[in-house]
């Protein structure tokens, strides 16, 4: 039997056909914002109070890493955390290798942070993370003066010795990546002068927003069709209070399930509505989904709203490639909606999905086909042809330790004629602890 990310016996789960979903729920806190809150809170002098922090395994790995670097990071209650930082430049050399488990975002951001210190930090991770590329983060950090030694093909484990101070650079990101941009900006906190990142395609801007919330001087402007982000280095970051909004990538699973099942009526409260994170909502609406955005508001510099979704008949669409950065993590569950919709849904510009926790394009295509869905895998995407109703189902899915693959196929099981089984539920704790209980509360049924 396969092993989970915790190295315990795998726990298969099957999702059973569901008539409808109803209820009001809140999803866990945003994973991207949770990582950044822990890191930036550790660079202040004083206490940062956090509510709604995602307590998934990826974020907890970042919390442990910040403790290893010298910050005080303590849990005060469910989702409630207190961070006492050391100031910019005040962190210390960790006594041991930092194990980031499966936290790809966490390790890439922390590489940027470590690039500003003269000591050596060692990073490793689980089998999945050790197979994922780190070179696109390493290259700009080396330009800033860091020395990085990694396994072949720029894989973990790796050692990074930072520069004191790092060199402020102007860096044009070669492919859209919020993680690369954020790593450069975090290194730039320690550099005298201005660090500039240029994006030809805009990516999620949580780092820029949060840097401002913590007192850094960050400017963003459009120049010659690109976005130019400029950070003034060596700021004094001030502690603040952060309320983490619900993660739109987690909301995607109940959202898709309810959108596809006639008779469903589900409200998802307090979801982050950052313009660079709502591509899935735009796409589902184009497919005919009945989604209403209610009570839009601002919390901690991030737009937030409640989502009300009712089941409707969906149709296939061609998803524009430029939308990919705003929904890159949601394509697996979008392909499930496409399997339920009538006609072809074409998704391209998704080469990034091949280097996530798994090769998500290959895994989704294989899994959909095993459940009777017509799917064509492309080099940078896939074409899913739905039959305007429930797909056959009945398949068993190898999740490859990928939380989004696991949850996507559990949603498929709710929509299919026959149950769908995943080989291991454990990876879901990476980003969505309590997923089964939350969905069961809406009317879903699972077996173990």
- pLDDT tens, residue order, the chain (448 aa): 233 333 447 899 999 999 999 999 999 999 999 999 999 999 999 999 999 999 999 999 999 999 999 999 999 999 999 999 999 999 999 999 999 999 999 999 999 999 999 999 999 999 989 999 999 999 999 999 999 999 999 999 999 999 999 999 999 999 889 999 999 999 999 999 999 999 999 999 999 999 999 999 999 999 999 999 999 999 999 999 999 999 999 999 999 999 999 999 999 999 999 999 999 999 999 999 999 999 999 887 799 999 999 999 999 999 999 999 999 999 999 999 999 999 999 999 999 999 888 899 999 999 999 999 999 999 999 999 999 999 999 999 999 989 999 999 999 999 999 999 999 999 999 899 999 999 999 999 999 8
Tokens describing residue 269 = 């409260």
Contact between residue 176 and residue 169 where contact means Cβ atoms under 8 Å apart? no
Contact between residue 151 and residue 160 where contact means Cβ atoms under 8 Å apart? no
Give DSSP secondary structure letters for 241-296.
Answer: EEEPPBPHHHHHHHHHHHHHSTT-EEEEEEEE--GGG-HHHHHHHHTT-EEEEEEE
Tell me how crowded residue 79 is: count the other CB atoms within 10 A of its CB: 17
- The torsion region of residue 22 among left (phi > 0), alpha (psi -120 to 50) and beta comes to beta
The domain boundary residue, chosen from 163, 198, 232: 232
Give me the numbers of helices (H) and strands (E) for the chain, helices first please.
13, 24
Is there a domain that residue 316 lies in? yes
Q: Both 125 and 186 in a single domain?
A: yes
pTM above 0.85, yes or no: yes
Q: Both 254 and 220 in a single domain?
A: no
Closest CA to 97 of 71, 118, 69, 73: 69
The domain boundary residue, chosen from 206, 232, 258: 232
Q: Both 275 and 384 in a single domain?
A: yes
CA dihedral 178, 180, 182, 185 (to 10 degrees): -140
Contact between residue 378 and residue 370 where contact means Cβ atoms under 8 Å apart? no
**Alpha-carbon gap, residue 106 to 186, rounded angstroms:** 12
Is there a domain that residue 1 lies in? no
Burial of 174 (0-12, 13-18, 19+ CB in 10 A): exposed
**Alpha-carbon gap, residue 182 to 176, rounded angstroms:** 12
Q: Both 251 and 222 in a single domain?
A: no
Pairing state between β 22-26 and 265-272: parallel
**Alpha-carbon gap, residue 364 to 336, rounded angstroms:** 9
The gap from C-alpha 152 to its chain's centroid, in whole angstroms, comes to 26
Q: Both 290 and 416 in a single domain?
A: yes
Which are the contacts of 77, defined by CB distance < 8 A and separation ≥ 6? none
Which of these is catalytic: 58, 329, 402, 423?
Answer: 329
Q: Both 318 and 376 in a single domain?
A: yes
Tell me how crowded residue 176 is: count the other CB atoms within 10 A of its CB: 20
Is there a domain that residue 6 lies in? no
Q: Both 187 and 317 in a single domain?
A: no
Q: Both 188 and 139 in a single domain?
A: yes
Q: Both 89 and 153 in a single domain?
A: yes
**CATH (domain of 386):** 3.65.10.10
Is there a domain that residue 399 lies in? yes
The side-by-side arrangement of strands in the sheet containing 13-16 is: 396-397, 420-422, 13-16, 445-447
Q: What is the pLDDT of residue 448?
A: 84
**Alpha-carbon gap, residue 34 to 30, rounded angstroms:** 6
Give DSSP secondary structure letters for 159-174.
Answer: EEE--SSPPP-EEE-S
Q: Both 186 and 284 in a single domain?
A: no
> How many domains does the structure of the chain reveal?
2
Q: Whats the size of the chain, residue-wise?
A: 448
Question: 197: which strand partners?
Answer: 171, 229
Q: Both 434 and 355 in a single domain?
A: yes
Phi first, then psi: give them for residue 199, nearest 5 degrees: -115, 125
Concerning whether 329 is annotated as a catalytic residue, the answer is yes
Is there a domain that residue 340 lies in? yes
Closest CA to 109 of 37, 168, 174, 216: 37
Residue whose entry in the numeric block shows the structure tokens 């209980």:
437
Is there a domain that residue 8 lies in? no
- Can you tell me whether residue 320 is helix, strand or coil? coil
Q: What is the pLDDT of residue 6?
A: 39
Is there a domain that residue 237 lies in? no
| Dihedral sign of CA atoms 102, 172, 220, 248 in order | negative
User: Cα dist. 91→44, 164, 229 in Å?
Assistant: 10, 13, 25
Contact between residue 294 and residue 320 where contact means Cβ atoms under 8 Å apart? no
Contact between residue 350 and residue 324 where contact means Cβ atoms under 8 Å apart? yes
- HSE value, Cβ hemisphere, 13 Å, CA-based, for 335: 34
Tell me how crowded residue 398 is: count the other CB atoms within 10 A of its CB: 17
Closest CA to 370 of 391, 346, 343: 391
Domain that holds residue 116: 31-232
Q: What is the pLDDT of residue 4?
A: 38
Q: Both 183 and 254 in a single domain?
A: no
User: Cα dist. 218→193, 201, 447 in Å?
Assistant: 12, 19, 49
**Alpha-carbon gap, residue 175 to 151, rounded angstroms:** 23
The domain boundary residue, chosen from 232, 259, 284: 232
Q: What is the pLDDT of residue 1?
A: 28
Is there a domain that residue 239 lies in? no
Residue environment code for 301-322, b if the CB has 16+ CB neighbours within 10 A, otherwise e: ebbbbbbbbbbbebbbbebeee
């Amino acid at each position: 039997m396969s092993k989970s990310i915790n190295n315990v016996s795998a726990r298969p789960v099957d999702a059973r056909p569901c008539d409808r979903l109803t209820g009001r729920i809140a999803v866990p806190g945003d994973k991207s914002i949770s990582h950044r809150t822990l890191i930036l809170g550790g660079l202040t002098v004083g206490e940062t109070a956090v509510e709604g922090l995602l307590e998934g395994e990826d974020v907890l790995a970042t919390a442990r890493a910040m403790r290893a670097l010298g910050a005080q990071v303590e849990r005060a209650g469910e989702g409630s955390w207190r961070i006492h930082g050391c100031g910019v430049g005040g962190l210390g050399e960790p006594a041991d290798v930092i194990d980031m488990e499966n936290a790809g975002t966490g390790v890439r951001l922390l590489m940027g942070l470590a690039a500003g210190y003269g000591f050596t930090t060692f990073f490793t991770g689980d089998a999945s993370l050790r197979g994922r590329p780190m070179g696109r983060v390493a290259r700009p950090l080396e330009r800033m003066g860091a020395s990085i030694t990694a396994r072949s093909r720029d894989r973990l484990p790796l050692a990074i010795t930072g520069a004191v101070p790092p060199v402020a650079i102007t860096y044009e990101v070669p492919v859209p990546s919020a993680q690369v941009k954020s790593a450069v900006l975090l290194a730039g906190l320690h550099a005298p002068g201005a660090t500039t990142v240029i994006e030809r395609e805009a990516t999620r801007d949580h780092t820029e927003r949060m840097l401002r919330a913590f007192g850094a001087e960050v400017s963003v402007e459009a120049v010659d069709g690109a976005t130019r982000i400029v950070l003034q280095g060596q700021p004094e970051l001030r502690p603040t209070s952060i309320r983490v909004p619900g993660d739109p990538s987690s909301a995607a699973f109940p959202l898709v399930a309810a959108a596809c099942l006639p008779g469903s009526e589900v409200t998802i409260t307090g979801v982050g509505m950052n313009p660079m994170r709502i591509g899935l909502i735009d796409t589902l609406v184009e497919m005919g989904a009945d989604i209403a955005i209610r009570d839009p508001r601002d919390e901690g510099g991030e737009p937030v709203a409640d989502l009300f979704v009712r089941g409707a008949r969906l149709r296939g669409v061609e998803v524009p490639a430029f939308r990919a950065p705003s929904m890159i993590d949601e394509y697996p569950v979008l392909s499930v909606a496409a399997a339920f919709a009538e006609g072809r849904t074409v998704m391209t510009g998704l080469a990034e999905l091949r280097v996530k926790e798994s090769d998500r394009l290959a895994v989704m295509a294989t899994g959909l086909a095993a459940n009777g869905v017509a799917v064509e895998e492309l080099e940078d995407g896939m074409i899913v042809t739905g039959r305007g109703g429930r797909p056959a189902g009945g398949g068993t899915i190898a999740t490859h330790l990928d939380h989004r693959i696991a949850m996507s196929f559990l949603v498929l099981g709710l929509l299919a004629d026959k149950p769908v089984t995943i080989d291991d539920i454990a990876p879901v704790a990476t980003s969505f602890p309590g997923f089964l209980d939350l969905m069961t509360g809406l009317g879903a049924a699972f077996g173990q």
